[in-house]
Structure 1
Amino acid sequence: MALHKLLVDDFYDDSYKLIAIHCGIEDYRLAYLLNKNLELKLERKPNDLDFQYLTSSYSIFEWNNTSQYVSWNLVSNVCKKEEDSLYSSGTLFQASEKTLKTFHLIPEFKRVDYFIKISEETQNVNEKLILNKLHNIPQIITSYEVDPLHIKSKDHLIF
């Protein structure tokens, strides 16, 4: 009897480009600057990306350019969440301390603040032109292209 093996990875298509952005500004301000300089129309989605059952959530902005068949996404890579710290129950006073925990959407790139994901059906997006325009924005420290095939947690970028 012949054994047939079906690989699920064969159905997933990596037809997107990924740009990493380092900057210290808020997500809505970055979306405004990208809309202004790259002539986009990014809008915040009503629901954030939630991972690990509300442990971490990441803001996401999206624009579907139907005339050029390109979908643009701006997603935050950093989620800072305040949680109660662990302390012994044998203390005299019941003081709760809060600690700030940091989570990352793509843990391999902990220093990256945001990612731009460009999904396209046709290969008509010029990455070098986009990177040149991003480098001209004074609030952005640096930006560069990332190869999605070398990311271990690329499943987090499926949205």
Structure 2
Amino acid sequence: MKGNKLILDTVFEDEFKLIAIHCSLEPYRIAYFVNKQLKLKLERVSDIEIYQGDTVINAPLFQFEDAIRETDYYLTANKFKTSNKNITEDDLFGSKQNRYSIISLLKEYKNADYFLKIEDEVVNAIPIKRILFELNQIKHIVTAYLINTEDLKQKERLVFK
């Protein structure tokens, strides 16, 4: 008797838009300015855990569920500073300093500071060009641009529910 082999692959077919944001503000400040400019109500929810080897990072996550437009907005940081506990440097004066490394949520976009993820139930209901224009009007944001989500290698890191 020949057995059947089942292969289970995780497939992410959720349609979403992803905007990369370059700015040097703290997460709560960028959330404030995005709320003000886009007239959203992003609120801090439970942090997301990111695993990178032995390191676990708790990343701040801001969320807004727009029931009228059936759209969910998520704002999260892309860069996280972690200290390497095992590596210390002796400097000229004999004091020890911890070394830090930067871990990115999405390695392909390691220069982006934040991501704004937009999940809409109705395809193309959100005017993405207007959102990009409004984000680029915020004086603290250097640039904001749309990312092609089909080319992302680590989409599973963008599942926040």
TM tier, shorter chain?
A: 0.7 to 0.9
Determine the structure 2 residue equivalent to 1:133. Answer: 134
1:68-83 matches, within 5 Å, as: 68-83=69-84
Determine the structure 2 residue equivalent to 1:27. Answer: 27
TM-score normalized by the length of structure 2: 0.85
Determine the structure 1 residue equivalent to 2:48. Answer: 49
Cα distance between partner residues in 1 of 2:73 and 2:88: 44
Determine the structure 2 residue equivalent to 1:155. Answer: 156
**Residues 74 and 116 of structure 1 are in contact (CA less than 8 Å); yes or no, is this contact kept in structure 2?**
yes
Cα distance between partner residues in 2 of 1:154 and 1:111: 17
Cα distance between partner residues in 1 of 2:7 and 2:145: 35
Determine the structure 1 residue equivalent to 2:144. Answer: 143
Q: Identify the structure with the greater strand proportion.
A: 2
SS state at 2:130 partner: helix
Cα distance between partner residues in 2 of 1:32 and 1:105: 21
Instruction: List gaps (5 residues or longer) in structure 2.
Output: none
Cα distance between partner residues in 2 of 1:86 and 1:22: 30
Change (3 A) 1:98 1:15: same
TM-score normalized by the length of structure 1: 0.85
Instruction: List gaps (5 residues or longer) in structure 1.
Output: 89-93
The Cα RMSD (Å) is 2.1
Question: Identity across aligned pairs (percent)?
Answer: 32
Cα distance between partner residues in 2 of 1:87 and 1:69: 50
Cα distance between partner residues in 1 of 2:44 and 2:87: 35
